[in-house]
């Protein structure tokens, strides 16, 4: 999770650095396709989707569902890379097909995780599962951002929409990471309670 946070942070800092400092010290990027931040955002989307779906796959006890999710993730990676090569989106904007596909894949992995959670005794201690908090944050994030992302393609002329999209994206990121941090704190508390109970 920390790795994913730093990927997002790097993409934001890179974009801001180029805008504010006009690529000082990295002038060789200026005027190239790597001048924009979209290539980092597309790579980050690919990495984060792979990490999240793999994370939920390894939360599962069922080998069938784990293999299906991991296989779907590999297909997603291949389709995304092909999409990047066939279109010019990789350097100009967030690639639409891989982004929407990633939203469906993450939601599918979370749905399978929830189904397995309901079928096992793990549901009794759901508050101690970090994955439940990660899933809540991701679902809220994907449900808030994906529709706006889809409409962004059609409302490029409106500056108001771009402003709203930016605000919603910032708030969704803050909410996602806040929920994940809360989940880490709850898991640490639960683990310390288990240690105290074991010593008693």
Contact 30, 23 (CB under 8 A): yes
pLDDT tens profile 65-91: 999 999 999 999 999 999 988 888 777
Q: Is the pLDDT of residue 9 over 90?
A: no
pLDDT tens profile 31-55: 666 666 677 788 888 998 999 999 9
- Closest among 137, 90, 91 to 110, alpha carbons compared: 137
| Neighbouring C-beta atoms of residue 189, cutoff 10 Å | 12
Rounded distance between C-alpha atoms, residue 53 and residue 70, angstroms: 7
Give the total number of structural domains in the chain.
1
Range(s) of the domain holding residue 163: 2-199
Backbone angles phi, psi at 150, to 5 degrees: -65, -45
Rounded distance between C-alpha atoms, residue 10 and residue 142, angstroms: 21
Which structure tokens are listed for 107?
A: 């939601």
Global confidence as pTM: 0.82
Burial tier of 4 (Cβ tally within 10 Å: 0-12, 13-18, 19+): middle
């Amino acid at each position: 999770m920390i790795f994913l946070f730093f990927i997002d942070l790097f993409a934001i800092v890179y974009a801001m650095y180029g805008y504010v400092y006009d690529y000082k010290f990295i002038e060789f990027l200026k005027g190239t396709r790597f001048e924009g931040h979209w290539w980092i955002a597309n790579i980050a989307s690919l990495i984060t989707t792979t990490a999240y779906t793999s994370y939920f796959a390894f939360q599962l006890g069922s080998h069938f569902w784990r293999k299906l999710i991991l296989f779907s993730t590999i297909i997603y990676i291949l389709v995304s890379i092909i999409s990047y090569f066939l279109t010019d989106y990789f350097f100009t904007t967030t690639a639409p097909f891989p982004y929407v596909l990633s939203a469906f894949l993450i939601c599918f992995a979370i749905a399978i995780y929830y189904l397995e959670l309901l079928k096992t005794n793990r549901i009794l201690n759901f508050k101690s599962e970090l994955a439940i908090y990660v899933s809540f944050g991701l679902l809220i994030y994907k449900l808030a951002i994906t529709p706006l992302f889809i409409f962004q393609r059609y409302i490029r002329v409106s500056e108001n929409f771009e402003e709203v999209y930016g605000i919603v994206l910032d708030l969704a990121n803050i909410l996602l990471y806040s929920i994940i941090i809360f989940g880490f704190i709850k898991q640490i508390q639960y683990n310390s309670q288990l240690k105290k109970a074991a010593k008693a």
